[in-house]
Structures are given as structure tokens and as C-alpha cells.
Amino acid sequence: MKNFEGKIAFITGGASGAGLGQAKLFSKAGMKVVITDIRKAALDKAVPEILAYSGRDEADILALEFDLTDREAYIKAADKTEEIFGGPPHLLIQTAGVNSFGPPEASTFEDFDWVMGVDLYAVVNGFVIFVPRMIKAYANKTDCHIAITSSWAGWQGDPIAAPYAASKAAVNNLSETYYMALKPYGIGVTTITPMAINTEIYDAEKYRPENFSNSGYYWTDELAAVMKEQCETGMDPVTLAEHLKRGIEAEQLFVVPYDNYYEMIGKVNDRRINLASPEGMAKEAAAEKYREENKVGEMDKGAFHEKAKPLGFGTARADLDWVDERKKRV
């Protein structure tokens, strides 16, 4: 997809962070933009920011407040998009996400259901709701694309963010599946896998629904404040959107938005190869022992870990009697 002028973009999580950066950039590129969020106040704040950045008219922006995991509400949002802008999106960008931190063995059903509901099943909802509409309206007629904001966590396991990493790994796989399946219709798929971004994901727990409140993880407002400082050092959302736009224009499946992407992916692949053989497992065990003995990696964790670790970042609730005491907030 190379021509964006006059086309429609639908961006989930478009009221802040990465989604807002995408809304700004693609609005400036001449698109009519739909932004969605569960937070009305964030939507109200985002619209004038997008207009100020892009110079577009207010009629070219549609803000929709709803829960992406509510399929009926999502279908109504898709209908509203067609009613206002005359058709389904030419560019669907699925960016909304949440995260929570703690040992996998401390995870509750609610931890998995909340994180995977937003990070995976909302993406599934987007595919199932919009792909048929996009095929009917645009297949092999005009530029049409689907993009997903995944995460570097999707390339590997994460011992303090299991639901998040699992959801992003599934999103990466799903993206590749749809990339192959939609080729006959002329619809491309691009997934970007960033590390830290300047977003408000540190505040995600504040919006965890009451029915998912039973968490096995330890979390406090103090930890959120420290994580906010860390997030603010992340990549600028518009810069991330520029990486995504280039990937879309190149019809690229995966975008790793860093200059050393080849080395980064290479290390992940090398580890996967090692984990698939007895000899490789021995190599990994030796490397892990060396890192522990020499504290390799301890010095590059930065100010965030220095502040957050003593506060209990990534630990379990103290009352979980099956969790190793070293992994609990005491």
C-alpha cells in the first residue's frame, strides 16, 4: 500500500501512545481516520491533537468509545465507520494493548483473560469483523492493508509477562497466517514489533475491568509511577508510526524498528535452534551460568530496574503459598 490520500484508516487504541502517533501520521498523509479507545476523556483529548498535527478538518476524524473485546460493540463501530466515511477501512491498524507483570506461576485466569482478551482476542475480532468487509469492498481494486502493533516480547518468552508475551507471539503467528491467506485479494499485512514506546501502558491496571480484578501479581501506584518514567524514555509514537508506514509501503510482513534488527532477530533464532537439541541446550545452560556468575546484563538494566526491583516489580502477591519466596513481594 503506497497511496493513502483520501482513504480510510481505523486505528484501535488511537487515543494515546502508539495508536495516537499512527493517527497523527496517517491523518497527515491524507487519510480519514477512525480512532477507538475505551476511555472517552482520552478520545476527547486526542482529536484536537491529531487535527493540530495533520492540519485536517474535524470531519475527517471519527472518535469511537467502546470495548474492543465486546464483539457487538465492535460490529456497531464497523457499521458506524461505513455510515460516516462510506466504506470499511482501507487501512486497519490494531494497536490497543495492555500489560501486567508477575511470575507465570502466580497468574490467575483473570490475568490471562484480561491481557489476552485485549492483546489477542481484540485482534482476532478485528480480523473477523473487517476482513470480509475489506475483501468485498476493495479486493484487487485499490490499495488495502492490515497492520498490527505487536511487541518484541512476541519473539520470545518472558518470565514476568507471560500473558502479554504469549498474546504477542500469537499475534505474530496470526499476522503471518493472514499475510499468506490475503495475498489473492491484494490485501497486505504488516506487523511492527517494538520494544519500549512512550505510551501510557504503565496505567493499564487502572482500567482493568472489575470482573478481571483477581490478579496474582503485585502492583502498586508507586510501581506505576516508576514505570511511567521508563515509558517516557521509549520511542516517540510518531517515529514508530513512520517505521510502520515504511513497512506498509514496502509490503513488509514484520518491522523491527531498530538499526540492528538483523542482529536482534539473529540472536532470537540462534536461541531457538539451541533449544531444539541436547547440544544446544547445553550451550544455553553454560551461557546462563556464565551470565549469572558474572552478572552479565545486571549493569544494562538501567534506572528503571534499580528503582522498580526494590518496589516489587514483577513479583507475586505475598499470600500465594506455592510461589517461590524469592519471587514474592514480602
User: For the domain that residue 93 is a member of, what is the CATH number?
Assistant: 3.40.50.720
Query: In which domain, by residue range, is 229 found?
Result: 8-258
- Let me know if residue 313 belongs to a domain: no
Q: What is the pLDDT of residue 203?
A: 86
- Let me know if residue 273 belongs to a domain: no
53 a catalytic residue: no
- Let me know if residue 294 belongs to a domain: no
The grid coordinates of residue 77 equal 463501530
- Structure confidence by residue, pLDDT tens digits, 120-162: 999 999 999 999 999 999 999 999 999 999 999 999 999 999 9
Residues near 291 by beta carbon (within 8 Å), at least 6 away in sequence: 297
Q: What is the pLDDT of residue 300?
A: 46
- Let me know if residue 221 belongs to a domain: yes
The rounded percent of the chain whose pLDDT value lies above 90 is 86
Number of domains in the chain: 1
- Let me know if residue 41 belongs to a domain: yes
- Let me know if residue 306 belongs to a domain: no
- Structure confidence by residue, pLDDT tens digits, 297-325: 543 456 677 788 888 999 999 999 999 99
Centre a 10 Å sphere on the Cβ of residue 203 and count the other Cβ atoms it contains.
Answer: 17
**Helix %, strand %, coil % for the chain, to 5?**
55, 10, 35
- Structure confidence by residue, pLDDT tens digits, 213-236: 999 999 999 999 988 888 888 999
Q: Find the catalytic residue in 164, 178, 202, 217.
A: 164
The grid coordinates of residue 35 equal 480512532
Q: What is the pLDDT of residue 298?
A: 43
Q: How far apart are CA 54 and CA 227, in angstroms?
A: 30
- Let me know if residue 321 belongs to a domain: no
- Let me know if residue 91 belongs to a domain: yes
| Phi and psi angles of residue 254, each rounded to the nearest 5 degrees, phi first | -115, 140
